[in-house]
């Protein structure tokens, strides 16, 4: 009986360690903060305080939108 109990405990420990190792290795932290920051664009004439997600033309004056530096 003691050897059966040892085998059960050993299998339980191994199963727990394999689950923990699998969960820890799949979550790699992001090292580049630029990936998290979306690029934003605004009108250089400040005719609209609206920010845009992609480059293009200002809907008010037609000028090219410029990149906004991340804050």
The per-residue pLDDT for 33 is 53
pLDDT at 41: 92
Residue 34: its pLDDT value, please? 47
Report residue 55 as tokens. 């480059």
The ranges of the chain with pLDDT < 50 are 34
pTM exceeds 0.75, yes or no: no
Q: What's residue 26's pLDDT?
A: 55
- Torsion angle in degrees (nearest 10) through CA of 4, 5, 11, 14: -140
């Amino acid at each position: 009986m003691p050897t059966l109990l040892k085998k059960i405990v050993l299998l339980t420990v191994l199963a727990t360690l394999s689950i923990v190792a699998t969960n820890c290795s799949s979550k790699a932290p992001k090292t580049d903060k630029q990936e998290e920051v979306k690029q934003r664009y605004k009108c250089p004439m400040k005719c609209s305080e609206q920010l845009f997600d992609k480059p293009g033309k200002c809907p008010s004056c037609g000028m090219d939108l410029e990149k906004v530096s991340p804050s």
